[in-house]
Structure 1
Amino acid sequence: MNKRDEVKLSSFMAKILRHSPEKFGLKLDDYGYCGVSELTKAIQAQSRWEHVTEEDIRHIAATSPKQRYLIKGNQIKARYGHSIPVFQETSARQVPPYLYHGTHGDALEAIKRAGILSMNRQQVHLSESPSFATLAAKRRKNPLLLKIDTQIAIEAGASFHFAGNEVWLSTPLPPSSITEEIPVE
């Protein structure tokens, strides 16, 4: 499978696991897992992807630059980005003092008024490093990073969950927790 097809397959996997598993005949458990073989069959049922194997899916999960997928044994899940409700696994990892949120300049005024909201997802996505958050910001015109003081956010009632690979998920964040606006070039 060439790189371009890998990117498209990864996007299709995300669509299924994050947004519409039932549309493809999949049932996720409470934490968003399903069988790798079930996901493979659901993907193979689409004419464009009938050649996809379990090995292809495992390869996509293992090599995803953002580590979007987690495989445990014969189960796979999307780590984050869900528009459907899933429980987050607990982690003993301590929330860093600062996290970063990738957004765009056109959203800044609304964010200053209402804070950072989950929009059409279940939670707000944050990164431990500016470089990782930049990947999300650069998907839009006028990319921007927001530096978040997690202690201020926690004192205002926000909660954080580690999703893996630098990614943290949170409840909505108040405008007061934004300590810096960083333009992305």
Structure 2
Amino acid sequence: MNKHDEVKLSSFMAKILRHSPQKFGLTLDDYGFCGIPNLTKAIQTQPRWQQVTEDDIRQIVATSPKQRYLIKGNQIKARYGHSVPILQEPSDRQLPRFLYHGTHKEALEAIKGKGILPMGRQQVHLSESPSFATLAAKRRKNPLLLKIDAQSAIEAGVTFHFAGNEVWLSTSLPPSSITEVIELE
């Protein structure tokens, strides 16, 4: 499978595992896992992907720079980005003092008024490093990076869960938790 097809298949896997498993005949457990054989069969129902194998799926997971997926045994899940409700597994990872959120200039006024909301997803996505959040921000025109004071957010009632690979998920963040707005080029 070439790189272009890997990117397309990874996006399709995200669509299935994050947003519409039932549309493809899949049932996710409480934490968002399903069997890799079941995901493979669901993907193969699409004409473009009839030749996809479990090995192709494992290769995408192994080589994904953003580590969007997690495999445990013969089960797979999308780590973050869900619009369907799933539970987050507990983690003993220490919450950093500051987290970062990538956005764009056009959203800033709304964020200043209402805070950072999950929009069409279950949770807000944050990163431990500015560089990882910058990747998300630069998908849009006029990208911005927001620096979040995690302790201030906790004091305001926000809950955080570690999703893996520098990604933290949270409930809505109040505007008061934003300590800095950084314009990106």
1:62 aligns with 2:70: no
Distance (whole Å) between structure 2 residues aligned to residue 144 and residue 58 of structure 1: 34
Percent identity of equivalent pairs: 81
Unaligned runs of 5+ in 2: none
2:163 match: secondary structure: strand
Amino acid at match of 2:94: Q
Distance (whole Å) between structure 2 residues aligned to residue 32 and residue 138 of structure 1: 28
**Aligned residue for 2:11?**
11
Distance (whole Å) between structure 2 residues aligned to residue 108 and residue 70 of structure 1: 32
Structure 1 segments (4+ residues) deviating >6 Å = none
Give matches, 1:122-141, under 5 Å. 122-141=122-141
**Normalising by the residue count of structure 2, what TM-score does the alignment of the two structures yield?**
0.99
- Per-residue deviation, 1:98: 0.1
**Aligned residue for 2:90?**
90
2:162 match: secondary structure: strand
**Aligned residue for 1:145?**
145
**Aligned residue for 1:174?**
174
1:154 match: secondary structure: helix
- Per-residue deviation, 1:184: 1.4
- Per-residue deviation, 1:172: 0.4
User: Could you give the per-residue CA deviations for residues 44-78 of structure 1, whole angstroms, max 9, x where no partner exists?
Assistant: 11000001000000010111111000000000000
Q: CA RMSD in A?
A: 0.4
Distance (whole Å) between structure 2 residues aligned to residue 78 and residue 50 of structure 1: 21
- Per-residue deviation, 1:12: 0.0
**Normalising by the residue count of structure 1, what TM-score does the alignment of the two structures yield?**
0.99
**Aligned residue for 1:74?**
74
**Aligned residue for 2:42?**
42
- Per-residue deviation, 1:14: 0.0
Distance (whole Å) between structure 2 residues aligned to residue 45 and residue 81 of structure 1: 24
Distance (whole Å) between structure 2 residues aligned to residue 45 and residue 109 of structure 1: 43
User: Could you give the per-residue CA deviations for residues 17-70 of structure 1, whole angstroms, max 9, x where no partner exists?
Assistant: 000000000000000000001000000110000010000000101111110000
Distance (whole Å) between structure 1 residues aligned to residue 183 and residue 13 of structure 2: 31
1:88 match: secondary structure: coil
**Aligned residue for 1:163?**
163
Amino acid at match of 1:73: G
Amino acid at match of 2:129: S
1:132 match: secondary structure: helix
Amino acid at match of 1:125: H
**Aligned residue for 1:22?**
22
Unaligned runs of 5+ in 1: none
